[in-house]
Structure 1
Amino acid sequence: MGELQDIPDKPLRRGYTTGACATACTKAALRSLITQQRITEVQIQLPIGELVTFQVTINTLNSKECSYTTIKDAGDDPDVTHKAEITVSVSLNDIGDVVFKRGEGVGLITLPGLEIPVGEPAINPVPRDMMRIVCKKILSDYGLEKKGVTITVSVKDGEKLAKRTLNSRLGILYGISILGTTGIVTPFSAASYIASIRQGIDVAIANGNTELLINSGARSEKMLKSIFPHVSETSCIHYGNWIQETFEKINQSPQISKVSMGIMLGKAAKLAQGNTNTHSGKTTWDKDFIYQLAISAGYSKEIANKVLALNMAGRLREIFTFTDQEKFYQKLIQQCHYYCQEIAPNIEIMLYLINNDGHFISYPK
């Protein structure tokens, strides 16, 4: 997963989750299997109560099995599964229950700490419930209450798509997860990112990690890993812009004793003022604050005034040489440390202010 994208300045179109897509295919496939009739669209009810119609394409229909495909529409969200082909195959079973199997491109749970047990397909609880409800209703409609349904979910090129996610770090191998709690994909939603942060911390804890390495994204993580080359993948968490929520989760996790945090200069300029959501759409760096910070660090007004002429925080390096000895950076990172420690007071926090060339300044020293 790379650095976060900026939110477009326009009305954004919402989309539908992989869980909603799989439910639509399940409903179409089970109805066709029982009636032996083909359909081209199906309506499902989302967990939020909304009725939505999906276009579906049949793949297989015989007396024992039926499968349908739909194309996921993520709206304007930069979702790696946008336009992915979601396929569900169903068959009746005699155990009277709904059984989930993983087809090609759907992940396998291999580490503890997630909501789904090890060895199960990576189909999350809400999508499972959605598919169960659909199956129970159709079986009831056709007088087949004693039957069960075996559901196999596949995603074309799912293993390839999963390489653009953090799935492998969470112990989800061989494909993507079938996700969704509302059925709706809200473009650039914070909720999904925050959920992945919490998931990552849960997996780290479940696998015996007591120390975390947290970074804003892949670039800063790569730099910080040069300091901690032997750290495990499950200890690494991307906080993105959600510093507040990351440390709140850490504070709620008594198993975690130490956190090493990497932060780039632009985000540090915001965090130092107490902005624990550092997205450019939410906060901008405050030149007047940075000016005052330089004054409080002992710099002359002549030097501090140069801050006011800058158009971006990254250019602070033009005024203050990026070294451990530069008092400005020690003051900046001290302020960042204060706000993080305020959220998680019982955790040992080590901060690393990271430069674009990989050099870093640590606090406390």
Structure 2
Amino acid sequence: MARKPDGPLRKGWTTGACATAATRAAWQALLSGDFPDPVTITLPRGETPSFELIKAETGDGWARASVIKDAGDDPDVTHGAEIIATVRHGKPGNGITFHAGDGVGTITKPGLPLPPGEAAINPKPREMMIAQITELCETFGAKPDVEIEISIPGGAEIATKTWNGRLGIVGGLSVLGTTGVVIPFSCSAWIHSIHRGIDVARATGRIHVAGATGKTSEAAIRAFYDLPEEAIMDMGDFVGGMLKYLRKNPVAFVSIAGGFAKLVKLAQGHLDLHSSRSEVDFDKLAQTVALSGGDAELQDQTRNANTAKQVLELCQAAGVRIEDTIARQACESARATLDGAGAIEIVVTDRSGTIIARHGVGDFEPFRPVQAN
């Protein structure tokens, strides 16, 4: 994850807002013969951003407009992408329909806000586009029978950097955004993907899901239980975002896998594990060393340590199983957040992906690892 820069940050616009602006411009051109440039739209919270058009084309019964997505100072993978809307007159009585063009995905799995077979244009952006179409129809006395096709050139390649494949969205990106505004470093898209991953897992009958802080721990927990892709949540640092959603949308058994340093933070009560938003309390960690059987000298070494990794190495050299205590404390912290909505275990891995500690697996007896630990 990119590090948040110092100073005030510039907000940006979601793919949904950009698609809405392009749709309004194209439909207005089809009805009036003229493209509004810049085109202004009203977002759900009342903002009225204007967008400069990149494309402005018309043909027999269709019009096309595009804008460039500006995500502000957020490290959004779709920043700079061209969002294209092509609109056509639909069959009378068909209403407003949405279609996936080049670079926009199609839904193939249940559990998402739209059914399989639909273009991956989320409900809120659809609402935004419908509002603009309806307003223009009233202005120009037209019937709201419209086909809207959204395209994002290069979207299939960009989508490989997102969760879409795991969620069962094939062929490209999703058109997202509930407010139309991108708040820099809010990580809302990542947390949204975690939630959708849980929805897909539940809809496909998964009763065991696993969240991992990184690729190494993800590979370890996936191999340990032979879990399918849809059971793996790319949790990253957002353990709180995952657990709070699971509290309201439970599954029977949840595994949380991560490296020692990340899980020390969870053990100490942090639910956002990113280095810019939480840090290890070495005084508390020294208390954990004491609980694990470490002597006064080891506790002093812990208080003066530079990293959690260093503490783990000191404890391993002294034969003190601090990783077991951290697994137990992290499990208690996660269990408190989950608040009874399913059983939970913690799996601690080292940097090579070897599992060095587990706690909580006995809470849900049906699950057994594929191989011995």
TM over 0.5: yes
How far apart are residue 94 of structure 1 and its match?
3.2
**Kept in 2: contact 1:85–1:155 (CA 8 A):** yes
Of 331, 336, 341, which aligns to 2:335?
A: 341
Contact 2:222–2:232 at 8 Å: present in 1 too? Answer: no
The answer for the alignment partner of 1:72 in structure 2 is 69
Partner residue of 2:119?
121
What's 1:195 paired with?
A: 192
Provide the rounded CA distance (Å) in 1 between the counterparts of 2:83 and 2:228: 32
Return the offset for 1:147.
4.4
Aligned counterparts, 1:160-239, within 5 A: 160-228=157-225, 230-239=226-235
- What residue identity is the alignment partner of 2:188? A
Runs of 4+ in structure 1 over 4 Å off: none
TM-score, normalized by length of structure 2? Answer: 0.91
CA distance in 2, matches of 1:19, 1:163: 19
Instruction: Compute the displacement of 1:329 (Å).
Output: 1.3
Cα gap change, 1:182 to 1:346, in 2 (>3 Å):
closer
Mapping 1:240-259, distance limit 5 Å:
240-254=236-250, 256-259=251-254
Aligned to 2:141: 143
Q: Contact 1:45/1:51 (CA < 8 Å) preserved in 2?
A: yes
Contact persistence 2:246–2:341 (CA under 8 A):
no
* Aligned mates of 1:90, 1:173 — CA distance in 2: 23
Deviation at 1:79, TM superposition (A): 0.6
C-alpha displacement of 1:131: 0.6
CA deviation after TM superposition for structure 1 residue 346, in Å: 4.8
Once residues 164 and 81 of structure 1 are traced to their aligned partners in structure 2, the CA distance between those partners, rounded to angstroms, is 10
Partner of 1:91: 88
Alignment partner, residue 62 of structure 1 = 59
Deviations 1:13-38 (A, max 9, x none): 11000000011101110111122224
Q: Following TM superposition, by how much is the alpha carbon of 1:59 offset from its aligned partner in structure 2, in angstroms?
A: 4.5
Partners of 1:36 and 1:63 within 8 A in 2: no
Q: RMSD over aligned Cα, in angstroms?
A: 1.8
Q: Where does structure 2 lack aligned partners over 5 or more consecutive residues?
A: 362-373
Percent identity over paired residues: 35
Q: Deviations over 1:73-119 (max 9, x none)?
A: 01111111000011000111233411111101000000000111110
Aligned equivalent of 1:296: 291
Which consecutive unaligned segments of at least 5 residues does structure 1 have?
none
**3-state DSSP of counterpart to 1:321:** helix
Q: CA deviation at 1:284?
A: 1.1
- What is the number of residues matched between the two proteins? 358
Secondary structure at the residue paired with 1:283? coil
Distance in 2 (alpha carbons) for counterparts of 1:363 and 1:336: 10
1:274 maps to which residue?
269
